[in-house]
Amino acid sequence: MDHFLFAGYLILFAWLVTKVRFFTNSGLTPAQLIIFFLLKVMAGIFYGWIGVYYGELAQMVDTWAYHYESLKEYQLLTSDPTAFFSNFFRSSYEEGYGGFLASENSWWNDLKGSSLLKMLAFFNLLSFGSYYINVIFYSFITLFGPLAFYRIMKDIFPFNRTPILLATFLIPSFLYWTSGIHKDGTIFVGIALVCYIIYFGLKNNSLSFYKILLLLGGLILILALRNFLLITILPALIAWIVAAKTRYKPLSVFIALYLLFGIIFFSAKYIYPELDLPKAVSEKQSAFLKLHGGSSVDVHILKPTLPGFIQNAPQAFALSSLRPFPSDVRHLLSLAAAVEINLLLILFLIFLILRKRLRYSNPFLLFCFFFSLSVLMMIGYSVNFLGAIVRYRSIVLPLVIIPIVANIDWNKILNMGFYNIKKNNHINISS
């Protein structure tokens, strides 16, 4: 019976992606929309399969743990809806709703898991508790994220649609981690929604009440599912908006404001002790160091001071941006991650050699760079598990890779290949 229900829902939602106006306004054909939707469904199914057959070794048990917990929430939803909704807002900790950035014993820290469980409970109403049918629903919802980002990049680079499209959907770790039932796909929806509303709001110089609500909805998604990201995205958004509105040199605006944000980051505790941000990052690292797993690596302890952050900066960047190294490979997922990061580095070298004129004056592209870099550094400072690092960084890869791909002179590469073919043919004919 589950197989027939799965097939029915798959056909229904494949049809729906060709009817939703936001999807069709992307300029993609119905066939393309269906293909990318099915790619996400297949990636989500593979994600679940890895969780069953490879879960302990690759530390992929979370997705099934969320599923089984969501079945309990589903039972509560059907038996006692009042308790289902009310317990979401109830804190059982002594500090109540304090500890906004705490890594444990905090309602805010629990919020990311409880938010996902509530969503999955509603999925279970329609799927009758089937994990793989829930993948279909999740794939449909999280398709909004990459399509929103594609529409922004297509507007910035109107003549590079094919490279942008491929980079949006086919970055392996991004496709994998944002398609599986976990938090990452919905986090990216929140990020893309915020970017989409602000980008076109600035371009059209208008922002309706409805779009303001959507903007707040995107920020709430980020807050609920990974509140640390709010600390990194708000400075980038402010710099983006200021640079766009003032029309002064955007790069200078970003550098000046980020210097100011850096001062605030290290001095906010003197104004309000609860905002000891360096200590929060250091405690986040301590929480990860207490965990055990096969992908953990040795790291220097982060001291919550300016010298401590400067000392750990090279390690943080290398950890979040360059690893896993080939020597870090332990299983299938780490092998895939190592291959991917090396291919992306090769892509970056191609960009350096065959790049077009860079658009330093585009505030949104500067937002992508500064936000992505701050997220990567935050990951490197706090996380010592390569598996978690690969998952966490996957949501910012499109922000970095798409501008790189869009600024490569692909015509020069194609012409070089065509020239070599003609040259070889000429040699063969002459001989």
C-beta of residue 117 within 8 angstroms of C-beta of residue 66: yes
pTM of the model: 0.91
Let me know: does 377 contact 232? Beta carbons within 8 Å: no
Which carries the bigger pLDDT value, residue 181 or residue 160?
181
Listed in sequence order, the DSSP H helices in 87-227 are 107-127, 131-142, 144-156, 161-169, 172-179, 184-204, 209-225
Residue 99 is encoded by which pair of tokens? 């500890």
Dihedral through CA 56, CA 60, CA 64, CA 65, nearest 10?
80
Mean of the pLDDT values across residues 14-37?
96
58-74 in b/e burial notation, b at 16+ Cβ within 10 A? bbbebbeebbebbeebb
Q: How far is CA 45 from CA 14, 36, 123, 169, in A?
A: 16, 14, 16, 17
| Residue 387 pLDDT grade (very low, low, confident, very high; cuts 50, 70, 90) | confident
pLDDT band at 22 (very low <50, low <70, confident <90, very high): very high
CB atoms within 10 A of CB 178: 31
pLDDT attached to residue 2: 78
* Per-residue pLDDT band at 411 (split at 50, 70, 90): confident
CA 5 to chain centre: 30
Amino acid (1-letter code) at residue 32: Q
What is the pLDDT, as a whole number, of residue 431?
46
Position 322 pLDDT exceeds 60: yes
Q: What would the pLDDT profile of 172-207 be if each residue is shown by its tens digit?
A: 999 999 999 999 999 999 999 999 999 999 999 888
Two structure tokens written together for 40: 């996400």
β-sheet bridge partners, residue 355: 408
Domain boundaries, the chain: 1-226, 264-431
- The 10s digit of each residue's pLDDT in 229-287 is 999 999 999 999 999 998 788 999 999 999 999 999 999 888 887 788 999 899 899 98
Q: Does residue 402 contact residue 153 with C-beta atoms inside 8 Å?
A: yes
Q: Which runs of consecutive H residues, i.e. helices, occur in 205-249? A: 209-225, 228-246
Degrees, nearest 5: CA angle 236-240-245: 150
Mean pLDDT of all residues belonging to the chain: 89
Angle between helices 363-382 and 228-246 (to 10 degrees): 160
Percent of the chain whose predicted confidence (pLDDT) is above 90: 65
